[in-house]
Each structure stands twice: as structure tokens, then as C-alpha cells.
Amino acid sequence: MEFNGIDPIGTDAAHPRPLRNHRLRRGIYILPSIFTVANMMCGYYAVLATFEGQPSDFDNAARAIGIAFLFDTLDGRIARLMGTNSAFGREFDSLADVVSFGIAPAVLAYAWGVRSLAAVGLPGGLHLINLGWLVGFFFVGCCAWRLARFNIQGMAPGGNKYFAGMPTPAAAGMIAAMVHAFGPIQDVRLSILWLALVVALGVLMSSSLRHYSFKDIRWTRRQPSLAILLLFLLIGAVVLFSHATLLLIASAYTLHGVVLQVVRYLRHRPASRTA
């Protein structure tokens, strides 16, 4: 029996399954975006915590940037595992990264390393404040530059083993690790060194120096027992000795790109001479 061309018993009984599949597919695409939103929320919270201005608030802001790093790692891996990579997801992730790894660490670096000098009335504090906000803006600009270049060019030539330039989460992680390990700066000389570090991080982001991406590691395959043991030891060190461990990891990753470039230059130099 048909009513207005529709068979209530026959062929239309199979229609709910495609509808359910469409909803499932849509849910799978939304899942990575949830982690991207969480990443952005952590960056937004880091800015608000920095505005409070207390040492504990600075530490909370640094922790929020670290959590944003985890969410940023998860959203990309989930998208690749589920095959839900899209142009929208890539652009949305980049905008979130500008907030969490550009604006949030720049504001934190300024408040933690420069603004506190004006509060105690140290000489030269006003000049450092003017220099500090300029350096912070330079960091944000380098972060946006790095993300835009990555969206167009992708990884460094030769595969997915290396990034071209320091990743923005790593540069933000270096700032967060410093803030987490030490109290606010109260010395003009240390503040100048701090601003020099922030500038160096911005230069590393916008440079073409290769940084290891860890994307060539097959995490789904069986790993040696020693590697698993070392991983658990690293997690334990982060939990028990977070200040020193996170600072050591961030510093090592920051320097390794420069070291690799120097080694590569020294290897190619004798070859160019013989040629």
C-alpha cells in the first residue's frame, strides 16, 4: 500500500541506517574540534590567570599552556587516526594555536619577566616595559607567521620527520617551563636576558631550522620493553619533579634544532672544500 507515493512498509525501511551513518560521521568530525576548542580555552584561561598578577597565577597560566599542548597533540592525532583531516580543521587549529601558543605565552612572558619590575619601582623599569610589549608582539607575529607557513608548505622537505622551524607549542612550552620553574623576575639584567630569550624563540619559529617532529615513531606498533620503561620513568619525573624535568625537556628541544644545523653545516663544509 502506498500513500502519496510512499510505501510505509517496503523500501523506505532502510532509510534510517544512512541517517545514522551520517550522524556518526558528523560526530567523528566534531571530535577533533572538541580538543581544539579545549586547546583554545586553556590559552584563554592562561591570559586571564596572567592578569591576576600573583606568582601562583603565573604558574597556573604556565600549567594551562602545558595542558593546551596536550590537547593540540591529541586533536591532530585523532583526526589522522579517524581520517577526518579537513581544511576547516586545519585553519581552526591554527587559530586556536595563535591564542594558546602565541598570545597567551607572550602576555605571560611580559607580565612575569617585565611588568613586575615596574611594580617594585626598579630603575629602568619604564623602558623595559616599552621594550617588553614590543618583544611580546614580535613573538605573537612570529607564531602567526610560523602557522601560516606550515599551512601552505607543510613539513620540512624529505618527509614528516622534521618541522621547518621550531613548532609554536614548543616555543610556548619553553616560556611556560621557565615560568613554572622560577619566580617572577626582579632584576633588570635578568629581565633583559629574558626578553632576549623570547626574541630568540620567535626567530627560531620563523626560521627554517629543522626540528624533530616524532611523527616517524610508530606508536601503534610493539615497542621495546626498555623504551616503555623509559617512558614511565619520564612520566614519573614530570609528576614528581615537574619544575626541573619540564625545563630540561623544553631547553633540550629548543637547542637541538640549532645543534642539528651546526652538525649539518660541519658535515657539508669538508665536502664543499673537496669539490
Distance CA 123, CA 47 (A): 27
SS3 222: coil
Residue 208 gets which letter from DSSP? -
**pLDDT of 13 strictly over 50:** no
Residue pair 198/135 in contact by the 8 Å Cβ criterion? yes
Q: Is the distance from CB of 191 to CB of 128 less than 8 angstroms?
A: yes
Per residue in 165-184, pLDDT tens?
899 999 999 999 999 999 99
3-state helix, strand and coil shares in percent for the chain, rounded to the nearest 5: 80, 5, 20
Question: What nine digits make up the cell of 108?
Answer: 605571560
- Match 500513500 to its residue by C-alpha cell: 3
Residue 9: band (very low, low, confident or very high) from pLDDT cuts 50, 70, 90: very low
Q: What's the pTM? A: 0.83
Which residue, among 21, 12, 98, 100, has the nearest Cα to 64 in the 3D structure?
100
Which CATH number applies to 19-274?
1.20.120.1760
pLDDT digits (tens, 9 = 90+) for 78-125: 877 777 777 788 888 999 999 999 999 999 999 999 987 765 566 666
Q: How far is the CA of 103 from the CAs of 8, 40, 55, 97, 233, in angstroms?
A: 58, 11, 19, 9, 33
Domain boundaries, the chain: 19-274
Residues 233-263 pLDDT 10s? 988 998 899 999 999 999 999 998 888 888 8
Provide the mean pLDDT of the chain. 83
What average pLDDT does range 55-81 have in this prediction?
90
Q: Mean pLDDT throughout 122-144?
A: 86
CB atoms inside a 10 Å sphere around CB 67: 18
Residue 51 has pLDDT above 70, yes or no: yes
| Per-residue pLDDT at 178 | 97
Tally of CA atoms within 13 A in the half-sphere of 18 that contains its CB: 4
Q: Is the pLDDT of residue 139 over 50?
A: yes
pLDDT at position 14: 47
pLDDT at residue 23, as a whole number: 54
Distance CA 32, CA 71 (A): 9
Residue type, 235: I
Decide: 213 and 158 in contact? Cβ < 8 Å.
no
pLDDT of residue 99: 96
- What is the arithmetic mean of pLDDT over 261-266? 83
Q: Are 172 and 104 in contact (CB under 8 A)?
A: yes
Grid cell, residue 134, equals 614590543
DSSP 145-180: HHHHHHHHH-SPTTSSSEEES--HHHHHHHHHHHHH
Lowest mean pLDDT among 22-31, 95-104, 154-163, 224-233: 22-31
Question: Which pLDDT value is given to residue 118?
Answer: 66
Task: Name which residue leads in pLDDT, 155 or 142.
Answer: 142
